[in-house]
Structure 1
Amino acid sequence: MALLALFLLSIIVCAASAQEPCPVICTLDYRPVCATDGGETRTFGNACALRSENCLRRKNFRKLNDGECPK
């Protein structure tokens, strides 16, 4: 029984570590996207920059629209 529990735990750990890495290198193409996390609204340089921010900083920005956010 303990062996089965250890086996299941190792499968869970392997599955969790198999997640895709954060996109760290994004192109400098300026294709702005407006996004919000429910409190803050920000313009990101492109969709990759938005995904990178969410992944690296554990944020939850969601794209509102293409283009810069209104000021």
Structure 2
Amino acid sequence: MTPFQRVMIRIAALMALSLGVLSACTVAVDEPGGRPYPRPQPSSPQMCTMQYDPVCGARGNTSRTFGNECQARAEGFRVIGRGECRPQRPDFGGDRPQVCTREYAPVCARQGRREQTFANGCMAEAQGFRVIGNGDCR
């Protein structure tokens, strides 16, 4: 075999290999319009940036603020809002606050069927009442 034939055989082999590789680079088409299948999204990101763009994420009954959407998904949380999570209203249960200001901003509050006017919402809640409106009860 001559050197020229060896070179031609190598070129033919490289072309056949290139053709095989390039034929594997095709796009699967789903619709007649020629739109490709969407690529599957990773279940959780592999790496997140440290860019601060806060989001509120939830998982079950837990909500937590994350630095960005990627970090929330990486921890298994679902993004429920942009910005920091708002604190939920505290449930004082039996330990209601005992200290209220003397500010006069009357409210109407209810406990069971009983309605009563209080000087402000804090005083009503301290007595176990739920505020139902601003101003005196009618």
Give TM-score scaled by structure 1 length: 0.55
CA distance in 2, matches of 1:31, 1:24: 18
Q: Does 1:67 align with 2:83?
A: yes
Say which structure, 1 or 2, has more relative contact order (CA 8 Å, 6+ apart).
1
CA distance in 2, matches of 1:39, 1:20: 24
Which position in structure 2 is the counterpart of 1:20?
A: 42
Which of 61, 66, 73 is the aligned partner of 1:44?
66
Q: Deviations over 1:39-62 (max 9, x none)?
A: 1110011000011111xxxxxx22
Report the 3-state secondary structure (helix = DSSP H, G, I; strand = E; otherwise coil) of the residue aligned with 2:75: helix
Could you tell me how far 1:63 is from its partner in structure 2?
Answer: 1.6
**What runs of 5+ residues in structure 2 fail to find an aligned partner?**
1-40, 88-138
Report the 3-state secondary structure (helix = DSSP H, G, I; strand = E; otherwise coil) of the residue aligned with 1:36: strand
Number of matched pairs: 48
C-alpha RMSD of matched pairs (Å): 2.2
Give TM-score scaled by structure 2 length: 0.31
Q: Does 1:35 align with 2:66?
A: no
The answer as to whether partners of 2:57 and 2:66 remain within 8 angstroms in 1 is yes
- Amino acid across the alignment from 2:70: C
The 3 A distance-change label for structure 1 pair 21 and 42 is closer
Q: Deviations over 1:15-41 (max 9, x none)?
A: xxxx83632311110000001123111
Q: What stretches of structure 1 move > 6 A for 4+ residues in a row?
A: none
Larger radius of gyration between Structure 1 and Structure 2: 2
Which protein is richer in helix relative to its size? 1
